[in-house]
Amino acid sequence: MKKKLRTVVCGSTFGQFYLEALKLLPEEYDLVGLLAQGSRRSEKCAGYYGVNLYTEISQVPDDIDLACVVLRSGVMGGKGTDMSLKFLERGVHVMQEMPVHHKDMAACLKIAHQKKVLFQTGDLYVHLPAVKRFIACARAMLAQQNALYIDAAFASQVSYPLVHILMEALPTIRPWKTGTVSRGEGPFHVMTGTLGNIPVIVRVHNEVDPDDPDNYLHLLHRITLGSEGGSLTLTDTHGPVLWQPRLHIPENLHVLGDLATAEIDHMLENSTEILGTPFSANYRDILAKLWPRAIADNLSLMKDMIAGSINAVMRVQQDLLCARQWHEITSALGYPVLRSGCRHQLLPVQVLQEAVAKIADEGIKHTGEGSCFPVKTEVSACTEYADHEFGGINRDCVNVFVEKMKDAVFGVILYTLQAQGALVGKEREYSMTEIISASYVAPRHRPLIRRWLELLAEYGYLRSSADRIYGTDVVSQEMLKERWQTVRTLWDGKLGLPLSMDYLIRSAEQLPQLMSGEQQAVYLLFPEGKMDYASACYRDIMARYLNKSVAEAVIRIGTAAKLARPSNKEDIVRIIEVGAGTGATTEEIVPRIKEYRGNLKVDYLFTDVSNYFLTAARKNFRECPWMRFQTVDIDKDFWQQGLEPAGADIIIAAGVLDNAFDVDKTLAGLMRVLTPSGWLLVTEPVRDFPEMLISEAFMMVHPEDSRKTKTIFMSAAEWQEIFYNAGAAEVLVLPGVDHPLDPLGQKLFIVRKQNYA
């Protein structure tokens, strides 16, 4: 047996996933070519993977070891079974993508036995991470208790893998008995029966769009397996897997007062527990990564069977049983209903998130007792809380967005400067002074325009030599429109709200007026005094990630402080938030404090320089009796404004310190307000990211500190140096450089003050 199996893939539609899977196994398989009809897609696939394209089986080399037949089988009206038989006759091992009728399978197995090769069906679904977790948990559960019922829902197109999943999860799937089948007017048919003597009810999406037969599914698989202890649910083929213990009130609990002090283990379990990772992948990653990886796992098993290290006979028996059971289920269901012209309609998830955000969490806030969540005090791991919500973030997508945003912003900067007579023509050269003079720039904005020009040269949009800057090709309105549309596609509903992109594009359109001072940037951010744009801008994915991390850090610091204090000492955690603004950070912190209200007492001072924000905050947080409100200017002496030395355990400054006239002076003042070993939680940009250069940068004061001749925003290293100079004992920077959100250029600094009064 050769070390690598020389392999050909038949079919390019779903066969693409096999091609990608084989690429993941370079030590096990040698991908020789693609056998297909010669369509444009087949040509592109063969070119992409650098393999030969065959259009006839006779063109396939004789020394092939394995054929992956990814074509519709005979029962589905395709040529997959005929292709498998031809390869088997040539003495080639075959993996044929399911479903395969049991009669077709028997014919293939007969030839495989004669030629001493293997034939098996391919099924990626049982190798998906969530499905593997469900199978493992089902086996563990059924080792302790009997199954009482199975409640499943699936699309008829994926009924074959459903049988395979149940076969792996249950002790047996025989006998299968069909009860009743209800075919109503809706998209789902309902079937009852028993599977391995377990009562079953299934709801089957039994419809097909003839114009798009493989792409009209309301769901893939949803399976609940019930026992006396509770129910185990695979909510979707891609997870998560849930355990829900059955509610059972002990007989000796006669009144609610007994329940409050009862130490009964099962009454202390969460009503729903996620088993394994809580992260949800997006569909792009599911198709591009999870599916090929699952197929690769299946191929690795195939290679082991060919090598004789796994019992192939048992797998053959399982395939035959699965095919028979699938045939019985589909025969009972009957042919799918044809639904022509079904159109996919996107429902952005933020519509639902915004609806939820408007509803108070009634389940916890009235308990008056401790948290329902395990208490964690390690502040360095505070981003775990945010990672749970944003685990599906794709770094590649973030990187693409950053680059496309850069193109759009610097494109509009060039367009604006060229419209004013500067930077036109590649051979013409300018000095920095000439460009600023040619532009209509208010004196207070000239440092910003200089920074624009530095970055245009740094990023390669302009060519510079010594103190001279050369012009470039003319940027057109059509180019700008296309670039902004690309940015919107990447941003809206994925990385942020459409409203924040509306604000940015509006700022771009008003760039000449912003430069001249005719248009005040603050009025673009707060048109007609409304906070809609500002609220959207401070609630993008990066801001939400940082704010959730800040909220978790507050809980962990507060809990640790309470545990460390003597029992006779005041246990109120004093929190001050400076520059709280729209309350985007506060909105994440408040619910977390309410969750821990019984264990954590706080005094929270919400501050801002503007009464405008305080008025809104008093209304938004009126149900928080432990919250106070006060105007505080970070550029003035804190003690004179009523903030006493050592008066706070935690100070929060989200996106505010970089706006200080003198950040060193402001930070020194905040350190005096902190108690010894107190904590400062700061979020700030750490690079000059383009979108702020044409919007909020026009609102920033010209600094008189160490930033005077440097970039608009300081780097993470510069912030760390400032914190240590101000008296920090330690500074933690999150998220790390390897995090998917790192390209967005914002950080959380967790700063602990030195332990001296």
- Type of residue numbered 475: V
pLDDT, residue 364, reads 39
pLDDT digits (tens, 9 = 90+) for 651-672: 999 999 988 989 999 999 999 9
pLDDT above 90 (res 274): no
Of 267, 284, 301, the position where a domain reaches its end is 284
Structural domain total, the chain: 4
List 379's β-bridge partners, or say none: none
Residue 58 in tokens:
């006779």
Of 515, 530, 545, the position where a domain reaches its end is 530
CA 449 to chain centre: 36
User: What is the pTM (predicted TM-score) of this model?
Assistant: 0.53
DSSP structure class, residue 380: G
List 121's β-bridge partners, or say none: 96
Listed range (472-481, 703-712, 728-737) with the worst mean pLDDT: 703-712
CA dihedral (309, 311, 316, 319) positive or negative:
negative
Domain interval for residue 32: 5-122
What is the chain's mean pLDDT, rounded? 86
Residues 597 and 728 occupy one common structural domain: yes
For residue 339, tell me if it sits in a domain.
Answer: no
Residues 548 and 623 occupy one common structural domain: yes
For residue 475, tell me if it sits in a domain.
Answer: yes
In the block, residue with structure tokens 């199978």: 135
pLDDT digits (tens, 9 = 90+) for 437-486: 888 888 888 888 888 888 888 888 988 887 788 888 889 999 999 999 99
pLDDT digits (tens, 9 = 90+) for 109-155: 999 999 999 999 999 999 999 999 999 999 888 878 889 999 999 99
In the block, residue with structure tokens 């759009």: 408
For residue 348, tell me if it sits in a domain.
Answer: no
264 band by pLDDT with thresholds 50, 70 and 90: low
Residues 417 and 493 occupy one common structural domain: yes
Residues 431 and 562 occupy one common structural domain: no
For residue 745, tell me if it sits in a domain.
Answer: yes
757 band by pLDDT with thresholds 50, 70 and 90: very low
Listed range (203-207, 498-502, 710-714) with the worst mean pLDDT: 710-714
pLDDT above 50 (res 743): yes
Give the burial string for 242-280 (b: 16+ CB within 10 Å, else e): bbbeeeeeeeeeeeeeeeeeeeeeeeeeeeeeebeeeeb
Residues 151 and 100 occupy one common structural domain: no
Mean pLDDT of 163-175: 88
d(CA 298, CA 316): 14
pLDDT above 60 (res 360): no
Q: Which residue has the higher pLDDT, 200 or 523?
A: 200
CA 498 to chain centre: 18
Of 499, 530, 561, the position where a domain reaches its end is 530
Residues contacting residue 77 through CB under 8 Å, at least 6 positions apart: none
728 band by pLDDT with thresholds 50, 70 and 90: very high
209 band by pLDDT with thresholds 50, 70 and 90: confident
Mean pLDDT of 714-727: 92
Q: Are 303 and 30 in contact (CB under 8 A)?
A: no
d(CA 34, CA 28): 18
d(CA 470, CA 447): 20
Q: Residue 22: which CATH number?
A: 3.40.50.720
d(CA 747, CA 715): 10
CA dihedral (680, 683, 684, 687) positive or negative:
positive
SS3 122: strand
d(CA 205, CA 184): 11
pLDDT digits (tens, 9 = 90+) for 39-77: 999 999 999 999 999 999 999 999 999 999 999 887 667
d(CA 581, CA 430): 41
List 200's β-bridge partners, or say none: 150, 193
d(CA 581, CA 613): 5
436 band by pLDDT with thresholds 50, 70 and 90: confident
pLDDT above 90 (res 257): no
For residue 59, tell me if it sits in a domain.
Answer: yes
d(CA 129, CA 286): 11
Residues 594 and 726 occupy one common structural domain: yes
pLDDT, residue 704, reads 57
SS3 754: coil
For residue 730, tell me if it sits in a domain.
Answer: yes
Residues 96 and 143 occupy one common structural domain: no
pLDDT, residue 370, reads 36
pLDDT above 50 (res 1): no
For residue 314, tell me if it sits in a domain.
Answer: no
Q: Return the biggest CA–CA distance within the chain.
A: 94
DSSP structure class, residue 286: I
354 band by pLDDT with thresholds 50, 70 and 90: confident
Closest CA to 184 of 199, 200, 203: 203
Q: Residue 264: which CATH number?
A: 3.30.360.10
β-sheet with 572-578: strand ranges across: 627-631, 601-608, 572-578, 648-654, 674-685, 746-753, 728-734
Residues contacting residue 481 through CB under 8 Å, at least 6 positions apart: none
For residue 715, tell me if it sits in a domain.
Answer: yes
Q: Which residue has the higher pLDDT, 74 or 731?
A: 731
Residues 562 and 439 occupy one common structural domain: no
pLDDT digits (tens, 9 = 90+) for 590-628: 999 988 877 788 999 999 998 888 988 998 898 899 999
Residue 268 vs residues 145, 250, 256, 260, 366: alpha-carbon distances, Å: 21, 13, 15, 11, 18
pLDDT, residue 365, reads 38
Listed range (254-263, 347-356, 508-517, 650-659) with the worst mean pLDDT: 254-263
pLDDT, residue 254, reads 62
CA dihedral (624, 269, 127, 14) positive or negative:
negative
SS3 496: strand
Residues 540 and 492 occupy one common structural domain: no
pLDDT, residue 472, reads 87
In the block, residue with structure tokens 């955000």: 357
Residue 491 in tokens:
């941003």
495 band by pLDDT with thresholds 50, 70 and 90: confident
List 337's β-bridge partners, or say none: 207
Residues 511 and 618 occupy one common structural domain: no
Residue 61 in tokens:
């080399």
Mean pLDDT of 546-563: 88
261 band by pLDDT with thresholds 50, 70 and 90: low
pLDDT, residue 437, reads 82
pLDDT, residue 648, reads 94
H helices present in 391-510, as ranges = 395-419, 432-438, 446-458, 477-491, 498-509
- Type of residue numbered 439: S
pLDDT, residue 371, reads 35
Please report the beta strands in 551-618, taking only residues with DSSP state E, as ranges in sequence order.
572-578, 601-608
Residues 672 and 544 occupy one common structural domain: yes
d(CA 324, CA 640): 83
Q: Residue 719: which CATH number?
A: 3.40.50.150
How do beta strands 66-69 and 5-10 pair?
parallel
Residues 73 and 168 occupy one common structural domain: no
> Burial of 299 by CB count in 10 Å (0-12 exposed, 13-18 middle, 19+ buried)?
buried
Question: What are the DSSP calls for 562-574, one per residue?
Answer: HHHS-TTS--EEE
